[in-house]
Each structure stands twice: as structure tokens, then as C-alpha cells.
Structure 1
């Protein structure tokens, strides 16, 4: 498949041109990833300003996630129709327009619509930023290119809540969207200057309308089920059951159609490759576990440990320190060291970090809570680069955009599932622990009787004293549940080590293949 593109081959970029290209592509990626999390802490302000409940406000996040998950796997097909450079720059400029519209939205309905547009046009940006970046470096330095790219994906999710909270508190919430406008315009302009002569060949492929419709139906239903499940008590809700049925049936029809259609909108034949499916599985499950715990830790700190949003953000922020230092080292050595070793070490460090967190108590201080976060930077550095290398290894250059889009789709979907599963298990286990702890609060318990007597002696009524005791039980119940989720996640990370070794050692690596795509 790569042969027709041979005349279009371009040498790697050099000097300041390569540096500028790397910065432009990284800025676009950073802007994209940042927007997936920047609105989270601003929801109360957005909901209050637009006159809706916070629950309704969550659709600001949901609409972006649903549209983004649908559009990412379309990257390969769109690339063949439009060309990599045109598609990437068009995606960035449309993202800028959608961001500006989000900031201008006068009501929640329009904001949700513009966020959906923003998520949809953002789909090709991350896969194509990988592909264009790899084409800028010689094969020997492709690992370094991936290291530069991965830093943006590591830092942006951490910066999102911090930056979003600061902007919302000190300026106003529309500016969390307006800041994309200058960044996107500069990134698109620089990318066009550098890459316009490096466009890929295009083919007039027919539009797989049935496959696209089925993709929208099953992915949209799955994402809505995950996002609204906890709020509607999961499968006790007829609406959630309906979403689940539509998602399963839609997926079944989608698989049959895409595997038999001559020009599928998503290239599912990639899963025939051992390294692709094993790498995608390890990357997706690992990312789901990581993202679920990233959401859980600040929730626990703010709701049950008395931390402010800023303090919780400070606990999360140091994760990028060691990742930024170590990512270039891993990138430079990835061609000489088996990436399966790096990925295995990453999963072991993730397990260690979560095991340390499983020993947190309600008395654990700020410094102790921050220690595992700093160590986690080691795991983050060895996560993306080796697993992307494994996943894309041996794939023809012309199929790299499709493969990158499909693997990013599975990762994004797993992240949403990880968040929903982690928070649901957390709350369910906490409810169970609360019920068990409450059984000990009775007239036959000397500790309970003495505690209530002391509280009442301090001026509280009996009901007020019971309320204080109940709050203490709730705090302890969620502490026990938090420990269990962290511990269970640690065990699962260790299990992923075996998944990594289901893949073969890359021969030449994805990096070399992708770099030769131009």
C-alpha cells in the first residue's frame, strides 16, 4: 500500500525548522488534550451563569467526549480523502472556531452543541500530530519525536484543572475557551509554513455512510451510558438499559458491516496484527486505570480530606516532573531497548504507586500524599512511547494514520470507562462499608455511647451528635473504599505486564515505518 506514495517521500526536517515544527504540532496537541479536562472544575460557574443545574452542566463534558470518540477513528479515511497536512490544519482551525463559539454561547443548549462540534473536529488532531511529527525526524530519532509528543499529553491533563480553576476564579469561564484562539491560529500558521510542501497523496474513496451511521449510534450510546450511568443508578434505569442495548446491537452490526465493506470507514483489519491488538489492549486498559485513579484521588481529597480544588491540583501537578525529564531519555534509547521492558517497568511502577496510596488514611499529611505522585512520573515516562511503538510496529506507512486513529479511539473510550467504573465501585463499596460501620453504633457499644455523651456534653442535641458521628462514619467508609480501589488497580497493573509480552519485539519499530510515510 505504501508504494504509490514513494514519489511523495520527503527527507526529515532539520535545524530550526524541525524545532518550530515540533513546537507547532505540540501546541495543537496540548490545546486539544487540555480542553478535555479544563472545563471540569469550571462546571459550577458555567451552570450557575447559564441557569442550569450542575448535573445538566456535565453535558458540557459529555458532548465533547461523545463527538471526539466518534471522530477519532475516522482519521485514516479522512486522511486518504484530504491529505494529512490539509486535514490537520483544517482540524486546528475548526477547533479554534468552535472554541470561540463556546465562549460566546448565550445558553446551555448552544454551549453543548458547540462543545460537540469542538470534540468532533478535534478528532484527527492527535493521530495526525503523531504522524507529522514522526515524518519530521529521521528513523534513528523517531523515539525522541515521540518523547516530545508524549510530554504534551502528560502535562495537559494536569494543567487543565489548574488553569481552568484559575481562569474561572480570576477572569471568567468563557476564557477557558478563548485561550485556544491565539494558540490554534499560531499553531496552524506555523504548521502550514513548514508542512504545506509535504502533503500526502489523496484518493477519492466513497463515503461509507452506513458504517459512519453505525459508528455514531454505538459509540454515542456507549458514551452516554457511561456518562449518565452513575447519575441514573445504572441498570436500574430503563434509559441506561436502552443505551446499553443500542450500543451492543449497534456494535455487532458495525463489526459485520466494516469487516465486509470494500471501503470501511474504520480499518478493523488492523486487529489481525498481534502487536496492534496487544499494544492497543495494554495501552487502553492501562490508560483507563490511570485516568480512573486520576479522577478519584482529587475527589477523595476535596470531599473527605478538606482539600480545596487548588490544593488537590497541587497534589496532582508534580506527576509531570520526572516524566518530562525521563521521556527524552526513553525516546532516545527506545530503538536499542526492547519497548516491552520499558512498558513492563512502567506498569510495575504504577502498581507500586497505587499500592502506596492504598495505605493512605484520614490522618495522612500533604507531603506523604505527594510522594507517590512524584514517583508516578517515572511510570508516565515509560507508558506512551513504548506502547505506541509496540502498537504501530510493522504497519505500512500509508496505514499509520488509520492505526493511530483506531488506537487513540480505544484509549479514549477506555479512559471514559475507567472513570465511570472507578467512581461507581468507589461509591458502592463506600455504601457497603458505611452500612457495616453503622451496625456498630448502638447502645451496646461503649465507644459509641461515650462519643455521643461527650458530643452532647459539648452542647449538641442528640440528633446533632448522631450527625457528627455519621459524618465520621462516611469519611471512614470512603477511606476504606479508596484504599480498595487503589489496591485493586495496583493488582490489575501488574496483570498488564503479561499482556505486553503477548506482543512481539518490534522489528525496526513503528517509528521507522511512520517516519517513512512521507
Structure 2
């Protein structure tokens, strides 16, 4: 995961600079948007394609895993083919593959298309960051950082809202189709606005064995996490084989990368205590955060009767205070110990999740949305300083690798957390349902009472079963909120393991 060679290109000026910057920023926005736009649509997609919601969650995890795998390849691709060329190819491919996603008639085709979308979307995030820094004059580097940071921040906030509105108003296919013209126009603008700009290439070696081992252990582990609950976990020979492959593949990957001269993932960076603390904080905190915004819309739609639109509002409302607080937090990191800001931000996310543990089946939209609204500032306090803290702990020549590796861990954590929280949710609901049935002493009397009111025996039993199921899922949701809260609390302690940075950190992560 080495850094691409610096491209000594003359910066753009005037309207050409503005238009190019916005088009590059839109590319980053689309990729980040895709991480959450499908979250509120999973029940609808699953129902349309005739699969369970747990199988539908592959739409989220397949994209995240594929995106994570291509992040280490970005440096090699940039040196071998040119960063601008790679960015444009990925931009246009993102549009074409989004069409395939919308045309999918089966869950297999949709997952395959989402994998391709992640593979081409992965390089767009780091390359958009680098290209923005290249086209802006050095004295305006802060403007470039702000554009990239805002598109990165707005994407996951807008995703649930846009996904819900589009899914209910037009159809789930349009959460993919709507991005096509935007990506085509954006790519065309970047192409013409950067005509004549140098895009140097050079000899580049790729760590093929490291890449193969990386794909092997990540794929085996993700499939095991996604399919384990459907195959009774280690009672299944398939899950046992996947577990063995994941463990052996991971160990082989670590050993090989530590001995390889030009590794695809430079694990030696973990020798820096500050980087390790910040990167693990990023992974743990983001995994908990992403798990919460996956489980919340699923519960609201499956058990609370919310439409995808209203589930999107309930999740995306965090963006209101997030956007307001972003510049304030950015300034604060220049004067206050970033470890304190990061730790308070994560504790705040944990507090908002703990607040949700008081929900019941009668919770109103306002009561449910309030903790989500106040999540916004804490989310910014988490996202803004964490990458800067990671790269502040390594040498200058390792900063690009540090930023890439921390984001690689963050993306994987989101995918793994999606699978784990849904597995825990399903298991907890099953246990809670068994306990509720065992504790219900007057079930026969309740059924008899409904029958006396004119309800048939079958309808009465079905009604009581539905109430028990809804309550068991509610309890399971609260159980997951409690687990997520604990993860947040643990993650909030980790930043203090990093040494205090000397001077202000780079909150843009533009490396």
C-alpha cells in the first residue's frame, strides 16, 4: 500500500478549477453515498428478489468488502497507469456498473454487481483526495481538504434519506439508476477540465501473493460471518472450512507481508503505538457506528411499520447538527488535544446509543429521532480527528500508507459489523421469544378471550404469536444497542494509548 508518486502538475485556476473540483468531489460523494444508500432499502430489495433480509444484507457487505480490497491497490494503479486515468476509468465504470445493479433480477446478480461496484469505487476515494490537492494551488490546499471532507461527511448522511425516498417513491432499482447520469456528467467534466494536465506513470510492482492472500482471508471470513447464522455456525462443515481458510489465510498474509520488501499492505506501520491506537479506534468506533445505522432502519421497517422513507429520515437526521458542527470541530482540533476530542466523540456516540435502550413499542418518531439528531456532533468529533491522529504518529514517508491502512481497517470493520450485528440480532430475538413464551402463563386465557369476542382460534393464535414476535425483536434490538454501547465505551479508551501529537494534526487526511 505504497503512496503514488507525486504528480508535479500546474494547478488549475478560475472557473475551470471550480468546476473540476466540484466534479471530483461528486465522484467521492457517490462512492461514500453508496455505503449507506441501500441500508434502508434492504427489506424492500430482499422482498422483491424473494430472499430474507439477512441475505439481503449482502448488498451492503459485498460492496464494503470489495471496496476495502481495492484500497491497497490504489498506489500501484496510480503509478502504473496514471492517477487521473485510473480515476476517470473508475468514475465511468461506476456509472456503467450502477446500471447493472438496477437491472438485477436475482440476489446473485445484484451481489455480483455490487462487488464490481466496490472494486471500481474503492480507488475513487483516495484518488479524489489526491487530485483535489493537485489541482488547487498550494495556498488553497485547505479549500481542497474542506471539499473532500464535506463530500465524505455528507455521503453517509444523505444515503438513508435518498435511499428511503427513492425506494418508496420510484422503486429500489432507482437507488442505483439515479447515480448513472450524475457519474457520467461528473466524469465528463473532469475529463475536459483536466485536458492537458500531465498524468505521469512509471514502473510499478504489485505484490501478487500478498493480494491473493488478502482476498482469500477477507472473502472467507466475510462469507463465514454472513452465512454462519443460516448454517448453524460450526455445526456446518462449510462454515468449518471457511473458518480454517480464514485463519490460515490471515496468518499466511501477516507472515508474508512482514517479510515482503514491497508489501501491498505495510503491516510494519503497526510498530508505531500511536498509529495502532488510532487505527484500532477508527475500526472499532466505525464498526459500532455502522452497526447502529444498519440495525435501526431494519427494526423500524420490519417491526415498527415505518416506510423506507421515514426510516431514512430517522437515520439521516443526524446530518443536521453534523454539518453545523463540522467547522467548529475542525477549528477545535487546532487548539485542543485531538485525543480528548476523539474520546468524547466516541463516548457521545455511546451515550446516544444507550439512550435508545429505553425505547419501547410505543416510541414516537420524535422520541426515536432525538438521539439520532444529537448523534451528529459526536459523529463529527469522531471522524474529523481520527485519521489525523493516526498519520501524526508515523514518519512523513509512511503517512500515505498510514492513511490508506486506517481507512482499509475502517471499511472492513463496517462490513464485518453489519454481519455480526444481524447475527446477534437474530439470535437474541430467538432466545427472547423462547423466554417470553415460557414466561407466558395465561396465553390460553388470552386466546379464549379473543375467541369470545368473535375471533377464530387460528386468528387469535396468529395475533398472539405476532405480539410475542414483535416484543422479542424489540428486546433483541435493545440488546444490540447495549452491545454497541459497550463497544463505543471500549473504543473511547483507546485514543489515550497514543502519544500526544506535537502541534495541530492534519484533519484532512489528504495523503
Q: CA deviation at 1:60?
A: 4.5
Q: Is the 8 A contact 2:43 2:302 kept in 1?
A: no
Q: Does 1:149 align with 2:151?
A: no
Question: In structure 2, how many angstroms separate the alpha carbons of the residues matched to 1:483 and 1:39?
Answer: 23
Q: Could you tell me how far 1:354 is from its partner in structure 2?
A: 1.0
Which one is further off, 406-415 or 307-316?
A: 307-316
Does 2:284 align with 1:285?
Answer: yes
* Cα distance in structure 1, aligned partners of 2:357 and 2:91: 41
User: 1:284-310: per-residue Cα shift (whole Å, max 9, x none)?
Assistant: 111110111111112222222222222
State the 1:373 CA deviation. 0.8
Alignment equivalent of 2:462, drawn from 464, 467, 480: 467
**Within 5 A, what are the aligned runs for 1:185-264?**
185-192=184-191, 202-264=201-263
Inter-partner Cα distance in structure 2 for 1:506 and 1:10: 32
Post-superposition CA distance 1:163-190 (Å, at most 9, x none): 3344344445543333323322333344
1:410 pairs with 2:387:
no
Q: 1:500 aligns with which of 479, 495, 502?
A: 495
Q: Distance in 1 between matches of 2:66 and 2:414?
A: 15
Deviations 1:349-378 (A, max 9, x none): 112211211111112211111110110011
Taking the aligned partners of 2:385 and 2:347, their CA distance within structure 1 comes to: 14
Unaligned runs of 5+ in 2: none
- Structure 2 Cα separation of the partners of residues 422 and 329 of structure 1: 33
- Cα distance in structure 2, aligned partners of 1:358 and 1:52: 29
1:298 paired residue number: 297
Q: How does 1:27-106 map to 2 (within 5 A)?
A: 27-40=26-39, 42=41, 60-104=59-103
Cα 1:512/1:179, change in 2 over 3 Å:
closer
Seen in structure 2, the aligned counterparts of structure 1 residues 54 and 362 have a Cα distance that, compared at 3 Å, is closer
- Give CA deviations for 1:477-518 in whole Å, capped at 9, x if unaligned: 222222232223223212222201111233355639966x6x
CA deviations on 1:383-405 (whole Å, 9 max, x unpaired) are 21110111222555654443333
- Equivalent residue, structure 1, for 2:369: 370
Match of 1:511 in 2: 506
Instruction: Tell me what 2:452 maps to.
Output: 457
Q: Report the Cα distance in structure 1 between the residues aligned to 2:349 and 2:202, rounded to whole angstroms.
A: 43
Q: Map Cα deviations across residues 407-432 of structure 1 (whole Å, 9 max, x no partner).
A: 22211111122122222222222222
Task: Report the count of equivalent residues.
Answer: 510
**Change over 3 Å in CA distance of 1:34–1:287 after alignment to 2:** same
- 1:480 correspondence with 2:475: yes
The alpha-carbon distance between structure 1 residues 18 and 324, as it changes in their structure 2 partners (threshold 3 A), is farther
**In structure 1, distance between residues paired with 2:426 and 2:59:** 23
Closer, same or farther: CA 397–201 of 1 in aligned 2, 3 Å: farther
1:347 matched to which residue of 2? 346
Q: Structure 1 residues 107, 344: closer, same or farther in 2, change over 3 A?
A: closer
TM-superposition CA deviations, 1:41-86 (whole Å, max 9, x none): 5567667777878776655445433422321222233333334333
**8 Å CA contact retained: 1:291, 1:415:** yes
In the alignment, structure 1 segments of 5+ residues that lack a partner are none
In the superposition, the TM-score normalised over structure 2's length comes to: 0.87
* Distance in structure 2 (CA, Å) of the matches to 1:274 and 1:350: 25
Q: Is the contact between residue 30 and residue 153 of structure 1 (CA under 8 Å) also seen in structure 2? A: yes
Secondary structure at the aligned position of 2:152 is classed as helix
- Distance in 2, Cα, partners of 1:303 & 1:81: 48
The change in CA–CA distance for 1:348 and 1:64 in structure 2 (over 3 A counts) is closer
SS of equivalent to 2:230: coil
Please report how far the alpha carbon of residue 320 of structure 1 lies from its aligned counterpart in structure 2 after TM superposition.
0.5
- 1:454 Cα offset (Å): 2.6
Which whole-Å CA distance do the structure 1 matches of 2:4 and 2:463 have between them?
73
- Corresponding residue for 2:432? 433
1:335 aligns with 2:334: yes
CA RMSD of aligned residues (A): 3.4
For 2:508 and 2:149, the matched residues in 1 are separated by: 18
Contact 2:295 / 2:421 at 8 angstroms: preserved in 1?
yes
Distance 1:452 1:287 in 2: 46
Q: Distance in 2 between matches of 1:303 and 1:105?
A: 23
- The CA distance in 2 between the partners of 1:279 and 1:295, in whole Å, is 24
Alignment of 1:146-185 (within 5 A): 146-185=145-184
| Structure 1 pair 372–117 and aligned structure 2 pair: CA distance change class (3 A) | same
1:317 aligns with 2:309: no
Q: Is contact 1:287–1:414 with CA below 8 Å preserved after alignment?
A: yes
Alpha-carbon contact 1:218-1:247 (below 8 Å) kept: yes
